[in-house]
Structure 1
Amino acid sequence: MSNPDSFNLFSFTGKTKILHLSWIAFFISFVVWFNHAPLALAISESLGLTREELKTLLILNVALTIPARVIIGMLTDVYGPRKVYSGLLAVCSIPCFMYAMADDFTQAAIARFLLGTIGAGFVVGIRLVSEWFPARQLGTAEGIYGGWGNFGSAAAAMSLPTLALVFGGDDGWRYAIGLTGVISLLFSVVFYMNVTDTPKGSTYFRPKSVGAMEVTSKGDFALLLVMKIPMYAALALLTWKLSPNGVAMLSAEISTAIYVVLAAIYLFDSWKVWQVNKHIFSEPVPAIHQYQFKQVAVLNVLYFATFGSELAVISMLPLFFADTFELDPVMAGLVASAYAFMNLMSRPGGGLLSDKFGRKITLLVLTAGLAGGYYMMSIIDSSWPLVLAVVAAMACSFFVQAGEGAVFAAVPLIKRRLTGQIAGMTGAYGNVGAVFYLTVLSLVDYSTFFMVIAGTAVLGFFTLFMMEEPKGQIAEVMPDGSVTMIDVT
């Protein structure tokens, strides 16, 4: 019988098998999510897109991921990771095929918007991995899951242009993108056939209510409603970018209608939060069942600065290097890929450091490094040797991605049955950050853009002092009503 404390990464049994299947599922979801970026020029020529329309596709690609991560997180907590991840990979192959067959901008835009849903796959694996690994190994396992899966965007950048050339002709890009949809569809079956939600004999804890996150105090109730506002604000910002004030994809009337709908959904969302949590205003939650939502809020802010900046920087870094050092597009893309390449080791490294030295101190050090890294990026100019600029980008990238690993080393230790929802909200904040930073980029120069990210990292550093190191045990209620304690240290 294998030792439950062992962690052999080269095994394909037990918890390690689940880890490998999880990161492969996440890897495939990222390949599909970012399959358009490396083929952008070919797609643009084929469909006759303007530069503004191409930028609009980039914005649409991250739009639906914000609500999708929250919704998929809820579904994961209720139905389990096996069904949800398999279903997501299968269903999202459809807009992938739609994108491959698009004949004009409108068709491409609708498909790209729907494809943002696959970016929500990340939160499913966070819950699944947390079910299989003990707290002392959780940061490392979640880091490997996130880092190796995240590498899917870099893998797409490296392989899809070659695949398009192999298929050849004007439609080479269509076959390359269509192939990613086929892979997603096939792996959904592999995942469903080979994964269980928990180890044999373990209980999968589900939330008491669905439709909104549970909180355990009046102050947390108010904080939850406040923390939901930036997610709706990001969607409003996207609408503004698509309105006549931006790229004019949407008319003024449609834009106004979307603003009204977003406000209405926020009010409905707030009502659902009340429905799920109104009992806390009449009877206090027993201390053993309480958790602190401020822990979630702090991690949201940190993921805004880490993953939010990563998504934004990956989108603009080739252009930054091309403009600053007068490189051709191919060379600029190759140089910029060094930033994404760091994911393979940085994110698992952040999780490993978190396991070894503690969640809070690791986040403090990495967030300070993040602020310093982006300050360094802000002073890069054409007088720098290119090699030094690349080294600075890679050093910055280490702190960004290790910070992501450290954030999700803490997420599963807050409240087990809500892990999908907490991961969904924190993950959504990463996309909110991306929308915010990309909007800033459209208004300022590169140096100011990097300084804004550094500033938000400093803000994240100070919010960290409100975080408490996860320790001891958290209580969950078994189906028979008895209480079980789960170690978080």
Structure 2
Amino acid sequence: MQVTQPSTSINLLDFKSVSMRTFHLTWITFFVCFFGWFGIAPLMPVVREDLGLSKAQIGNIIIASVSITIFARLLFGWLCDKIGPRISYTILLLAGSLPVMFIGLSNSYESFLLFRLAIGVIGASFVITQYHTSVMFAPNVVGTANATAAGWGNMGGGVTLIVMPLIFGAFVGMGYLEPSAWRYAMVVPGVALFIMGFVYYFCTQDTPAGNLSDLRKADPNYKAKAKSGESLLTVCKDYRVWALFLAYGACFGIEITIDNIATLYFVDNFHLGLKEAGIIAGLFGMMNIFARALGGIFGDKAGRKFGLKGRIVILSAFLLMEGLGLMLFSAIDVLPLAIAVMLGFALFLKMSNGATYSVVPFINQRAIGMVSGIVGAGGNVGAVLAGFLFKSETLSYRESLFIIGVVVVGVSVVAFLLSLPKTLEVRQPELQPAMEKVNA
């Protein structure tokens, strides 16, 4: 008999049930999206030489890569509520593959900047990923499901930093000059994105009960039920959403910033080659194989024992440790120690990511897409603001990292204030008894 309710457990060896099949395809798709979104990042030392880019121009490129994602995440969060995650993801994948494949046509700073801006739309994949797992899993495991799917997808950022220099090296080995090799290398992730667009459309469905279009045809009242959800204005009036917006900016925003600058940081500060710097930078992203999932697991455990307050306290503690780790990392100039400290703050940063989205599904059950979109956009706002620091000609990368660490510590205090009793109301009271029953 077909299961039409969200799954109450996670069985990683299950590839047949709707919830688990969607789980696996969602994280794999998100993984591929990271290849497209950050595929150019480890090749920037070569691009810098080819196009003659200054530090300020590289800073603008970093900002461009994450700025448009703010609006894309808001748009696709809204689309998920309206047309469902399946079609939303398909549109994003097919459209996003084009600038990834064609960025190699760039012949100036201006054209490269525009392509990098367009590629940033792919970052909206995160919101669709979180939305899809949120509707597929019950409250007792939704934090773990969200964190694991996002974490394994985010791992693509680390793998990209390792693999793209190798793909680049393969083209060089075939006889292409470096100015041509980086351009051909970017075709590889673009083609992967295009293929995944069709895979996602044909192999997933919107909810455990079926696709939204079929449900609306079968149940004349379904459309009316969907319209009974919260308005965007109502969601925006909830200050808890904006506190999580800040929290996600302080963790995921810093993660994608590090993904963008890590290779350059190790090349410039430790005088490493492209491949060596890429491997070390890749270790940062590879922490996602378990660290973000841990954040969701701890969030769910705290939620079962202490309710929403427990989830929020866990988040604030992780953010505090992340901020302190960033400040320490910025002061280290010994390579082995720098790697060790980087992995330390990466652990808490990625657990903060997971802990944030163990809270998100409990803020407003009627507008999961909009809440996910706003909070997800916060990650990119954080990355944009951090990008302005790295763009500055008067601040070194080390000084910028220290300032970011101080800000993250401040945000951890704001997150902790959410644990005050009056903030813990769930915006759909009729669901609260059922949620507590499942969490018990």
| TM-score bracket for the superposition, by shorter chain length | 0.7 to 0.9
Which residue is equivalent to 1:182? Answer: 191
Matched, 1:344 2:289: yes
Is contact 2:320–2:408 with CA below 8 Å preserved after alignment? yes
- Give the alignment partner of residue 255 of structure 2, picking from 288, 310, 317: 310
Distance in 1, matches of 2:138 and 2:49, equals: 51
Which one-letter code corresponds to 2:14 in the other structure?
Answer: S
Which residue is equivalent to 1:370? Answer: 322
SS across alignment from 2:87: helix
Q: CA deviation at 1:408?
A: 0.8
Which residue is equivalent to 2:411? Answer: 460
Which one-letter code corresponds to 2:379 in the other structure?
Answer: G
Q: Identify if the C-alpha distance between structure 1 residues 39 and 323 changes in structure 2 by more than 3 Å, giving closer, same or farther.
A: closer
Is contact 2:253–2:378 with CA below 8 Å preserved after alignment? yes
Which one-letter code corresponds to 2:197 in the other structure?
Answer: S
Of residues 298-307 and 463-472 in structure 1, the stretch that sits farther from structure 2 once superposed is 463-472
Identity %: 30
Distance in 2, matches of 1:397 and 1:207, equals: 40
Which one-letter code corresponds to 1:341 in the other structure?
Answer: M
Which residue is equivalent to 1:286? Answer: none
Distance in 1, matches of 2:286 and 2:186, equals: 21
Distance in 2, matches of 1:438 and 1:53, equals: 11
SS across alignment from 2:401: helix
Q: CA deviation at 1:102?
A: 2.9
Distance in 1, matches of 2:107 and 2:399, equals: 38
Question: What is the TM-score normalised by the length of structure 1?
Answer: 0.76
SS across alignment from 2:114: helix
CA deviation map 1:132-161 (0-9, x unaligned): 101111111111111111111222222222
Is contact 1:294–1:467 with CA below 8 Å preserved after alignment? no
Of residues 106-115 and 8-17 in structure 1, the stretch that sits farther from structure 2 once superposed is 106-115
CA deviation map 1:339-391 (0-9, x unaligned): 222111110110011011231221132122112212322332x3x4x322211
Which residue is equivalent to 1:433? Answer: 382
Which residue is equivalent to 1:83? Answer: 87
Matched, 1:215 2:228: no
Which residue is equivalent to 2:144? Answer: 140
- Give the alignment partner of residue 334 of structure 1, picking from 272, 275, 279: 279
Matched, 1:421 2:421: no
Distance in 2, matches of 1:370 and 1:393, equals: 10
Gaps of 5+ in 2: 216-221, 304-310
Distance in 1, matches of 2:381 and 2:367, equals: 21
CA deviation map 1:313-357 (0-9, x unaligned): 233333443444444444333223222221111101100110112
RMSD (Å), alpha carbons: 2.8
- Give the alignment partner of residue 398 of structure 1, picking from 336, 347, 369: 347
Q: Identify if the C-alpha distance between structure 1 residues 463 and 413 changes in structure 2 by more than 3 Å, giving closer, same or farther.
A: same
Matched, 1:355 2:300: yes
SS across alignment from 1:198: coil
Distance in 1, matches of 2:52 and 2:389, equals: 27
Distance in 2, matches of 1:453 and 1:329, equals: 26
Distance in 2, matches of 1:182 and 1:447, equals: 36
Q: Identify if the C-alpha distance between structure 1 residues 451 and 206 changes in structure 2 by more than 3 Å, giving closer, same or farther.
A: farther
Gaps of 5+ in 1: 222-292, 478-482
Of residues 127-136 and 1-10 in structure 1, the stretch that sits farther from structure 2 once superposed is 1-10
Q: Identify if the C-alpha distance between structure 1 residues 113 and 486 changes in structure 2 by more than 3 Å, giving closer, same or farther.
A: farther
- Give the alignment partner of residue 12 of structure 2, picking from 9, 22, 31: 9
Is contact 1:144–1:348 with CA below 8 Å preserved after alignment? yes
Q: Identify if the C-alpha distance between structure 1 residues 72 and 486 changes in structure 2 by more than 3 Å, giving closer, same or farther.
A: farther
| Larger helix fraction of residues | 2
Q: CA deviation at 1:446?
A: 4.0
Aligned length: 406
Question: What is the TM-score normalised by the length of structure 2?
Answer: 0.84
Is contact 1:321–1:327 with CA below 8 Å preserved after alignment? yes
Q: CA deviation at 1:8?
A: 1.0
Which residue is equivalent to 1:166? Answer: 170
SS across alignment from 2:28: helix
Q: Identify if the C-alpha distance between structure 1 residues 173 and 133 changes in structure 2 by more than 3 Å, giving closer, same or farther.
A: same
Distance in 2, matches of 1:447 and 1:52, equals: 16
Q: Identify if the C-alpha distance between structure 1 residues 50 and 445 changes in structure 2 by more than 3 Å, giving closer, same or farther.
A: closer
SS across alignment from 1:416: coil
| Alignment of structure 1 residues 55-134 onto 2, 5 Å | 55-134=59-138
Is contact 2:166–2:275 with CA below 8 Å preserved after alignment? no
Q: CA deviation at 1:106?
A: 3.2
Distance in 2, matches of 1:96 and 1:215, equals: 36
Q: Identify if the C-alpha distance between structure 1 residues 28 and 144 changes in structure 2 by more than 3 Å, giving closer, same or farther.
A: same
SS across alignment from 1:200: coil
Which residue is equivalent to 1:199? Answer: 208
Which one-letter code corresponds to 2:81 in the other structure?
Answer: D
SS across alignment from 2:290: helix
Distance in 2, matches of 1:51 and 1:320, equals: 12
Which residue is equivalent to 1:487? Answer: 435
Q: Identify if the C-alpha distance between structure 1 residues 120 and 110 changes in structure 2 by more than 3 Å, giving closer, same or farther.
A: same
Which one-letter code corresponds to 1:369 in the other structure?
Answer: M
Distance in 1, matches of 2:286 and 2:269, equals: 21
Q: Identify if the C-alpha distance between structure 1 residues 319 and 186 changes in structure 2 by more than 3 Å, giving closer, same or farther.
A: closer
